[in-house]
Amino acid sequence: MSLQEKVGQLFVAGFHGTAPSEEIVKLIKDYHISGVIYFARNVENPKQVHALSKELQKAAKDAGAAPLFISIDQEGGMVARITEGVTLSPGNMPLGAGRDVETVYQLGKVVGTELRLLGINMNYAPCIDVNNNPLNPVIGVRSYGESAEFVAKMGVQAVKGLQNANVSAVVKHFPGHGDTSVDSHLDLPVVHHDLKRLKELELIPFYEAFKHGVDAVMVAHVAFPSIDPEKVPSTLSRKVVTELLRGEMGYEGVVVTDCMEMNAIIDYFGIEEAAILAIEAGIDQVLISHTFERQTSAIEAVIKAVESGRISLEHIDAAVERVLTLKEARNLQEGLLDWHDCEREIGTSSNVELAQKASEASITLVRESDGLLPLASKDKILLISVDPYVTSGADETLYSQVTIGSFLEGKLPNLTEVIISVTPEEEEIEKLLLLASGVDKVMVATYQAVQHDSQADLVRRLVMKYGDKVGVIALRSPYDVDKFPEVSTYILTYESRKLALQSVSKFLLGEMEAKGKLPITLGTAQVN
């Protein structure tokens, strides 16, 4: 391999469009890049994704390059790039509420099997961050919970499921993104815990994943000054990647970056220097998700750094060997099956039923007042639904026009649903308070009310005026209740995906019990 081709094997690129773009083909042909990443912008439907994967692998083969890692963030729940025509698993926190490790394994295997049929051989999942900060803007329900041992137990099953389907699992975000209050897509989070504390909490799930042979680990754009006093993001820190991850923890697999176009990197270092620093730190796969000019300039910068002697060729060779070894182990040279052979195995009724049962098992009743539930056909009901929105840079797609009301309206003839924004204005709040006076029961479906005071204010004022006839369903953050502890009926779905809305609707109608258990601590409830 030429130097250019070796360096190319250390880069993963994103691109725009649902067919191979001119830019991505150039990166494959000229630089022999290691892989590509799919986002929602690359997805129309499973058949198109299958064809896209086939074309990209053909481009690599025609160029005489190694087969591509074709990667994706298909965590499940609120972070998923393919949402239609496949089995969409609940996210990690609802699975945490369900407490069933076998279900986590089976869903991992189902998701992995379907991804591999679509030509996707690497999943940037599971997220094994321990969520111990209620105000974390980017992890939250992407975590299994707040107990490190519990997160480790669930995460290992997800890894096993994916990898038994021959898809590389990538645990993230090392050494821990759970106790941050800044979204690294927007700025550089800093965590001040010392190494002793990290070993007692954040690192536990990673130790377990490494012990069970996870293929790859993604490093966080988070600074840990107690490990590296330079306060650089872990992605660019030799002390984190080489000394802690490789040295002290003994990890020998592939190490990847989070996207290098996040503000935590771009605003502080620039793409060329950041790419060099990442590889110097010990990174094997530099992920640049969006911009062709940044992708090419980063690759060229690393080539020049090797030519100038700043990075040794031996260092590059060792990283390339880890990458190619994994590609061979996962049999990436194996061609895709024809679409008609794949189609019948994707989104099957048994797979979807598994996801549905997992979703139903996650619904959590924190508390309830007598007489509010179940909702009955004779009741006059006001359902106030907050319209979900993209809360962090990790989110991409949300179900539009699907609400709890969509599942209730045929069974509750006296139901009125009002959809409001995440930040209702005073005039809107007053209208809703008036509307509530003419009904028997009020249900409010909140969305990140913990971050939106006017939403929480609406609930507080409804409860103040109408007491126990008001109930709340939190459609994402379970911590919403800490903003209105007075509410006497509180239900958690942990996500606003279609399956979750369908599941909670069944509970509201009395068609199923809420068996989920809190995987985190609320101001008013303890971990079970």
527 pLDDT tier (thresholds 50, 70, 90): very low
Architecture of the structural domain at 360-508: 3-Layer(aba) Sandwich (3.40)
Active site residue 482: no
Helices (H) and strands (E) in the chain, counts: 19, 14
Q: Is the pLDDT reported for residue 182 higher than 80? A: no
Catalytic residue among 32, 177, 185, 193: 185
d(CA 382, CA 367): 20
Quick one: pLDDT at residue 187? Answer: 72
The closest of 415, 423, 411, 465 to 448, measured between CA atoms, is 423
Is 32 known to be catalytic? no
**Cα 500 versus chain centre, distance:** 16
**pLDDT score, position 184:** 62
Q: Rounded CA gap, 522 and 528, in Å?
A: 11
Which tokens sit at 124? 């940037």
Q: What is the pTM of this model?
A: 0.94
- Residue from 73, 183, 228, 258 carrying the catalytic annotation: 258
CATH of domain 8-343: 3.20.20.300
Residue spans in the chain of domains classed CATH 3.20.20.300 = 8-343
Instruction: Tell me where in the chain the CATH 3.40.50.1700 domain(s) lie.
Output: 360-508
CB count, 10 Å around CB of 515?
A: 15
The edge-to-edge listing of strands for the beta sheet with 254-257 is 254-257, 216-219, 168-174, 122-123, 69-72, 35-38, 11-14, 286-288
204: confidence class by pLDDT, cuts 50, 70, 90: very high
What confidence tens digit (pLDDT) does each residue in 388-446 have?
865 545 555 554 568 999 999 999 999 999 999 999 999 999 999 999 999 999 999 99
Write out the two tokens for 431.
């209208």
Quick check: 160 pLDDT over 50?
A: yes
pLDDT at position 178 is 65
Q: Closest Cα to residue 229, out of 263, 267, 192, 180?
A: 192
The rounded Cα 300 to chain-centroid distance in angstroms is 31
Q: How far is CA 61 from CA 32, 38, 118, 306, 328, in A?
A: 10, 19, 18, 26, 15
Question: Residue 119: CB partners within 8 Å, gap ≥ 6?
Answer: 49, 50, 52, 53, 54, 56, 57, 70, 336
pLDDT, one tens digit per residue, over 499-513 is 999 999 999 999 999
